[in-house]
Amino acid sequence: MKLLIASDIHGSAYCCKKLLDAFKAENADRILLLGDILYHGPRNDLPEEYSPKAVIELLNGIKEHIFCIRGNCDTEVDQMVLEFPILADYCILPVNNRIIYATHGHKYNPGNPPPLSKGDILLNGHTHIPMHAEYEKFIYINPGSVSIPKNDTCRSYIILQDGIFFWKNLETFDEYDRLCIL
């Protein structure tokens, strides 16, 4: 299965359209959204083409391809308008002989990891900074932000295929980093 992983759309219709373009161009099977879908949050400026209603329409149009976890800006009101589940705090994905613990990152993160076994993967967004790092007990992976990148990074997403994480620039779909977990 080819999985597109993205985080922090924050209501940007422009970035959501680009993400759906990437989904089609990558010929991915599913999208895993790591939260913060509709609202920009009080600490962020409005993202480009801020239009939560447009994002709702775009994502509901491909609801059968999305699975999602709750971000710190996502609420029960958002669930009332989105036609796919968004309120789970985490999901666990088996990949080869490891597990991926996917969460937004505001509760569980490298400074406060969930219970993980050696070699497992903690996957989260929230910081808006793409990265990967190996810790004593786990590997940390972050796709960055689709709409509001920080620390001079680009708008980005990840493709997970055959045990390899590929970081991609949302504007060009070009790969700029990769990590093999086989």
Going from N- to C-terminal start, the domains of the chain cover 3-180
Q: 3-180 domain in CATH 3.60.21.10?
A: yes
Residue labelled with tokens 């949050």: 41
Q: What angle do CA 120, 123, 126 make, to 5 degrees?
A: 150
Q: Is the model's pLDDT at 182 over the cut of 80?
A: no
Q: Is 80 exposed, middle or buried (0-12, 13-18, 19+ CB in 10 A)?
A: exposed
pLDDT averaged over the chain? 96
> Please, which pLDDT band fits residue 95 given cuts at 50, 70 and 90?
confident
Query: What's the confidence (pLDDT) of residue 96?
Result: 80
Tokens found for residue 36 = 């913060």
Rounded Cα distance between 126 and 8, Å, is 7
Q: Is the model's pLDDT at 88 over the cut of 90?
A: yes
> What percentage of the chain reaches a pLDDT higher than 90?
93
